[in-house]
Amino acid sequence: MSKLTLIGGITAAGQKLNITISGKKISELTIDTPVAGNEILDITGSLIIPGLVDLHTHLREPGKEDAENVESGSRAAVKGGYTAISAMPNTDPVADTAGVVEQVFSLGKAAGLCDVFPIGAVTQGQRGEQLAEILAMAQSAAKVRMFSDDGHCVFDPLVMRRALEYVKMFDGVIAQHAQDPRLTIDAQMNEGEISAKLGLKGWPAVAEEAIIARDILLTDHVQSRLHICHVTTAGGVELIRWAKSRGINVTAEVTPHHLLLTDDLAESYDPIYKVNPPLRNVRDVEALREGLADGTIDIVATDHAPHPTESKECEWQAASFGMIGLETALSVVVKTMISSKLMTWSDLVDRMAIAPARIGGYAEQGKEFALGNFANITVVNPNKTWVVNKDASMSKSRNTPFHGLELPGVITDVFFNGARVLQDEKVIGKI
């Protein structure tokens, strides 16, 4: 069995650690002396962290493969330091049956670059009316534990209640896209001074906050588990903080772009900044950063949303909502949270690897380095910077809002189940 020792790396906690990978697992952890006979990879000066875990990824396969497929999405994930991603079900057909989730699951295995865990739809066709065959999906080979109608809100409170109750059978979790559809008909951007000036229909913060409030109370009432996707509002953060103080089992995620970007970017009318939920104002961004720092928001999730160029090269109203984000996520979090001293690297590892794996129930991912664990490791040079170039993205799509931006933190190598899938910043081979 091949053995590779990474020497010279430092953990997020600041400790020197040499890791030896044998086959798929970690076989040795030492402080200084490299073991003779092993292949050596010198990563002095770099951080070694558990492979990142994303709970919110749009892979577009089946149905919209012009924008992305499981394989290209996996490549983008690896480039961004992720060893596990979660495929949202708003595909075509929707992933609301065991058949489709198993298809996505095996496509992920075939690509072999990272774990691809399908998320199942809550309702049939994501139409919000009838529950999907949640149990069948949970019992399938994909072993789905998280369910979401992401893209749409589960708006009917009765449907949401039933879904929350139903998943208690197997300790599943419902991930809600909080957006009251009646308050956001044809909404284009955050409702506020900027939208009033630009003549773009507003998406008011209350449309998110009201659903969050309702679902927290429902979750408490039926004693189930709730996860709030892409929180964007200060009010939402406050509600979640209150819920946790009452012991209600709710978790929440924030995207990297909502930690950095604000709604004034829409003034250019460039739909690269068009996203759902929308970019909000400075006060919201500050609240989100505080919430992520103090753990009110449990994780960072990318909401990686690829779209073909033509759907972003038009007038705002006709453009698709969404930004890609797998490749820039870590760097944006470093820039917004670590460079600003709001979080430490240990916090980052928790928010981007450990907590996501725990919420998603991914047993082999997001673990502190320990003997016998699967070797899912990401190597980061925290001091180097890089300039985002949309034309160099691994994803099939180019819709990043960060093109031209210089960001801190370069991911150099990634190991997925022991295999080196990213080498010197290049995505190589698969298992």
**Site of interaction with another protein (CB under 8 A):** 191-200, 202, 204, 268-270, 310-311, 313-319
Tokens in use for 28?
């040795």
Provide the minimum distance between the beta carbon of 255 and another protein in the complex, in angstroms, as a whole number: 24
DSSP letter assigned to residue 190: E
CA dist., res. 235 & res. 190, Å (int) = 14
Nearest CB to another protein, comparing residues 169 and 196: 196
Locate tokens 């952890």: which residue?
A: 29
CA dist., res. 389 & res. 392, Å (int) = 5
> Largest alpha-carbon pair distance within the chain?
68
Provide the minimum distance between the beta carbon of 287 and another protein in the complex, in angstroms, as a whole number: 19
Provide the minimum distance between the beta carbon of 329 and another protein in the complex, in angstroms, as a whole number: 28
Nearest CB to another protein, comparing residues 150 and 208: 208
Which contiguous run of DSSP H or E holds residue 52? Answer: strand 52-53
Indicate which residue of 303, 347, 350, 413 is catalytic.
Answer: 303
Count of H-run helices and E-run strands, the chain: 12, 19
Provide the minimum distance between the beta carbon of 199 and another protein in the complex, in angstroms, as a whole number: 3
Task: Count Cβ neighbours within 10 Å for each residue of 78-110 and write b for 16 or more, e otherwise.
Answer: bbbbbbbbbbbbbbeebbbbbebbbbbbebbee
Nearest CB to another protein, comparing residues 36 and 185: 185
Nearest CB to another protein, comparing residues 296 and 311: 311
Tokens in use for 321?
């909502």
State yes or no: is 284 an active-site residue.
Answer: no
Query: In this structure, are strands 146-148 and 173-176 parallel, antiparallel, or unpaired?
Result: parallel
Nearest CB to another protein, comparing residues 191 and 413: 191
Provide the minimum distance between the beta carbon of 307 and another protein in the complex, in angstroms, as a whole number: 12
Catalytic machinery residues: 303
